[in-house]
Amino acid sequence: MQNSATPTHCPYCALQCGMNLTPAPDGTVEVSERADFPVNRGALCGKGRTAPAVLSSRVRLTSPLVRSGGTLVPATWDEALDRIAEGLSRTRTEHGPDACGVFGGGGLTNEKAYTLGKFARVVLGTSQIDYNGRFCMSSAAAGGMKAFGLDRGLPFPLEDIPKSGCVILVGSNLAETMPPSLRFFTELRENGGTLIVVDPRRTKTAEQADLHLMPRPGTDLALALGLLHLVVAEGRVDEEYVRERTVGWEDARAAAMAHWPEYVERITGVPVPQLRETVRLFCEPESAMVLTARGPEQQSKGTDTVSAWINLCLATGRAGRPYSGYGCLTGQGNGQGGREHGQKADQLPGYRKLDDPAARAHVAEVWGVDPDSLPGPGRSAYELLDALGTDIRSLLLMGSNPVVSAPRAAHVEERIKSLDFLAVCDVVLSETAALADVVLPVTQWAEETGTTTNLEGRVLLRRQAITPPDGIRSDLEVMHELADRLGVEKGFPTDPEEVFEELRRASAGGPADYSGITYRRLAEENGVFWPCPTPVRDVPAGDDDLHPGTPRLFLDRFAHPDGRARFVAVSHRGIAEEPDEEYPVLLTTGRVVAQYQSGAQTRRVDELNAAAPGPFVELHPRLAERLGAAEGDPLAVVSRRGRAVAPARITPGIRPDTVFMPFHWYGEGRANTLTNPALDPTSRMPEFKACAVRVETVEG
């Protein structure tokens, strides 16, 4: 394609760092600095810098594969697509439309996520669609919805962080998970603000903090309630703000008052003086923020936990004011946009509700179908995976590798193997793709155009920089071809801009309104923040008089009809599986800087494998001594769901009652063999961050 540099964005995390790509004469692509993008100002982590390695035919899929005599063999596109259409049709005829499942991903562009949701409802007529974002930020989304009436991860740009007086960062290791964003927190401290980190481990992020609280995993709810108790007891409630901008304080206050500091210290292990110091640092400056990530959210009470942290912000008048507020650090490349346009079980585009008659009517009109033909809400991600092979007989999977990343993964793997038919679209032969009946090789970030919405709610344009190899097609082309084969000839365009134009209309008037955003604007501006509501004209021309977008939400009013935020009265409860004599230790899980998610992409990059070659069990020297384990010794970690083995990594920077495993690998070190699929009752988020295990040394 072009020989000059194309400005675009990283394929991986929700920061969506800007970068320039230039095709080299040898067919590879060079990454260079793109300093004009304000989120990363040219800085990239190792994953972003090495992302072009996954474009190489050495590691990627180069042809469709179909299962024949038990093995996957190369096939033509027509053969492969016909097989998928046949597999899905047969299931539909024999078992009904809801026996076809669809599983998507928060890494898919807005155009793909939108089309996948439409494909499920219009072509397959199934309610059984959900996606991996359920495992990611769904608890924060649910908590944000309840309190503010709207879910956008951050209600302000990252650039606001250095101007705040104090930030409490709860269960985020952004020094490893979003390295270029650390700059905002360094600047916060340079400006005299304080950084408080809440994490059971002394992470690279915690090392930067003025104060590090080290709670027992799964106790953030008690911690936040204890802080709110102290806010009340010390007379630090912003009474006027509470009166004018909120509803529900009395009940929330009463619930918090039952959480005495000494009681909270017993539950969390955080000493009372640290609780008091946190309250002082948070309340004294004019502005303050609470930011949560997966630590407190990936719990079977993640939604209530988020509510408790939001209550703390509301009681102190720290939401909907400059440089103040609650935010969630969304994780995947399109974790924000991916949760807005209909690949979620209960959702229609524009963050509309599938069970809302007006929403159904609006979207059905855009899609040219009868509103009554749209199925109702389906199951959440884990429940969907758990139903494979029973009610759900066939699955179309795009943008996830659940055999590695789902909780209780050995069981999920069994469920997947018991399907009548599995089709996977991927760029590489992931562990899940390896189980499929048909695998389709698709184009990647650098080879296609599309939009993503980063963790700030900033809609961005990823531009095509190179021509895809022969024999590779885009996800949009796949859905177009399948729709056609399944009898829907119109409505599945392959041009991303055409899809985006339809998405604009479908989202118009909804909470996540993109109708004022065009590709032309995105190419000229450094992204546009939603909501961006402008009446959509039939012709996508004429960008004048468009809405400027909304970088900062809630400054005048919250999104509930009365403009007020809602307190949610919550009380502490334990983790779903408390340690006992048989399983006395807590396991928590998470990430390392050099690997991404299930590792499907980053485990194919030599430089990243050299930096992070495999799984490990992080444990405290006291626990290691008790086990008689030395650094590097293989340890077996056993839970009620299975057993995983990985070398010991001994560090004083973890609580002695807790072990940590990263979840990026398959095989005997797979952390998710152990994790507990206990679900949050509201968000249906599994408890990735706490389960009971036994740790043993292994002979040899």
- Residues at the interface with Mo ion (CB under 5 A): 136, 331
Q: For CA atoms 250, 252, 253, 254, give the dihedral sign.
A: positive
Characterize the bridge pairing of strands 166-170 and 289-292: parallel
- The residue within the footprint of ligand MGD, chosen from 530, 596, 616, 666 (CB under 6 A), is 596
Which residue's CB is nearer to ligand MGD, number 426 or number 481?
A: 426
Binding mask 280-299 for ligand MGD (x = CB under 6 A): -------------xxxx-x-
Q: Which residue has the tokens 């096939």?
A: 75
- Choice from 140, 214, 600, 608 touching ligand MGD (CB under 6 A): 600
Find, among 221, 116, 248, the residue nearest to 574 by Cα.
221
For residue 251, list its beta bridge partners: none
Which is nearer to ligand SF4, 529 or 596 (by Cβ)?
596
In sequence order, the β-bridge partners of residue 525 are none
Collapsing DSSP states into helix, strand and coil, what is residue 325?
strand
Instruction: Rank residues 194 and 474 by Cβ distance to ligand MGD and give the closer one.
Output: 474
Q: Closest separation between CB of residue 381 and ligand MGD, Å?
A: 9
To which H or E segment does residue 328 belong? strand 325-328
Three-state secondary structure string covering 616-671: CEEECHHHHHHHCCCCCCEEEEEECCEEEEEEEEECCCECCCEEEEECCCCHHHCH
Residue of 128, 172, 181, 303 that binds ligand MGD (CB under 6 A) = 172
CA atoms within 13 A on the CB side of 295: 27
CB of 384 to ligand MGD, least distance (A): 13
Q: Which is nearer to Mo ion, 10 or 136 (CB)?
A: 136
When CB distances are held under 5 to 8 angstroms depending on the partner's kind, the choice from ligand MGD, ligand SF4, Mo ion, none that residue 48 binds is ligand SF4
**Tokens at residue 265, please?**
């210290």
- Residue 295 contact, options ligand MGD, ligand SF4, Mo ion, none, Cβ 5-8 Å cut-off depending on partner type: ligand MGD
Q: Which two tokens stand for residue 98?
A: 């809801």
430 binding ligand MGD? (CB under 6 A): yes
Residue 326 binds what, of ligand SF4, ligand MGD, Mo ion, none (CB under 5 to 8 Å, by partner type)?
Answer: none
Residue 240 CB, nearest approach to ligand SF4 (Å):
40
Site string for ligand MGD, 115-134 (x = CB under 6 A): -----------------x--
Give the separation between CA 373 and CA 475, rounded to whole angstroms: 25
- Contacts within 8 Å (CB) and 24+ apart, 351-354: 351/150, 351/151, 351/507, 351/510, 351/511, 351/512, 352/510, 352/511
Closest residue to ligand SF4, Cβ-based?
Answer: 48
Where does this chain touch ligand MGD (CB under 6 A) — which range of 34-42, 185-193, 217-225, 635-643?
217-225
**Is the Cβ–Cβ distance between 564 and 247 less than 8 Å?**
yes
Residue 512 binding result from ligand SF4, ligand MGD, Mo ion, none, given CB thresholds of 5 to 8 Å by partner type: none
Stretch 12-51: interaction string toward ligand MGD, x if CB under 6 A: -x--------------------------------------
CB of 407 to ligand MGD, least distance (A): 7
Work out what residue 17 binds among ligand MGD, ligand SF4, Mo ion, none; the CB cut-off runs from 5 to 8 Å by kind: ligand SF4
Q: Which stretch binds ligand MGD (CB under 6 A): 77-85, 243-251, 415-423, 683-691?
A: 683-691
Q: Which is nearer to ligand SF4, 17 or 141 (CB)?
A: 17
Residue 150 DSSP class: -
Taking CB within 5 to 8 Å according to partner kind, which of ligand SF4, ligand MGD, Mo ion, none is near residue 676?
none
CA angle 365, 368, 370 (to 5 degrees): 75
Q: Which is nearer to Mo ion, 136 or 617 (CB)?
A: 136
Distance CA 240, CA 257 (A): 20
From 115, 177, 300, 316, residue interacting with ligand MGD (rule: CB under 6 A): 177
Q: How far apart are CA 378 and CA 385, in angstroms?
A: 12
Residue 283 to residue 407: CA distance in whole angstroms: 38
Q: Does residue 464 interact with ligand MGD by CB under 6 A?
A: no
Please identify, using beta-carbon distances, which residue of 15 and 690 lies nearer to ligand SF4.
15
Contact of residue 659 among ligand SF4, Mo ion, ligand MGD, none (CB under 5-8 Å per partner type): none
Our CB check for ligand MGD shows the closer of 360 and 655 to be 655
Distance between alpha carbon 29 and the CA centroid of its chain, in Å? 28
The structure tokens listed for 589 are 């899980």
Cα separation, 384 vs 535, whole angstroms:
37
* Alpha-carbon distances of 148 from 52, 160, 294, 326, rounded to whole Å: 40, 19, 20, 10
Give the DSSP letter of residue 359.
H
Q: Indicate the residue among 45 and 693 with the shorter CB distance to ligand SF4.
A: 45
The footprint of ligand MGD on this chain (CB under 6 A) covers a number of residues equal to 64
Sole binder of ligand MGD in the list 663, 666, 669, 687 (CB under 6 A): 663
Query: Looking at residue 455, what DSSP letter applies?
Result: T
User: Within 13 A of 617's CA, how many CA atoms are on the CB side?
Assistant: 39
Contact 680, 302 (CB under 8 A): yes
Q: Which residue is nearest to ligand MGD (CB)?
A: 331
Coil, helix or strand for 299? coil
Please name the helix (run of DSSP H) or strand (run of DSSP E) that holds residue 622, with its range, or none.
helix 621-627
Q: What is the per-residue DSSP string for 159-191?
A: GGGGGSSEEEEES--HHHHSGGGHHHHHHHHHT
For ligand MGD, the binding residues (CB under 6 A) are 13, 105-108, 132, 135-136, 170-174, 176-178, 198-201, 203, 217-218, 220, 293-296, 298, 331-332, 398-402, 404-405, 425-428, 430, 442, 475, 588-591, 593, 595-598, 600-601, 660, 663, 671-672, 675, 688-690
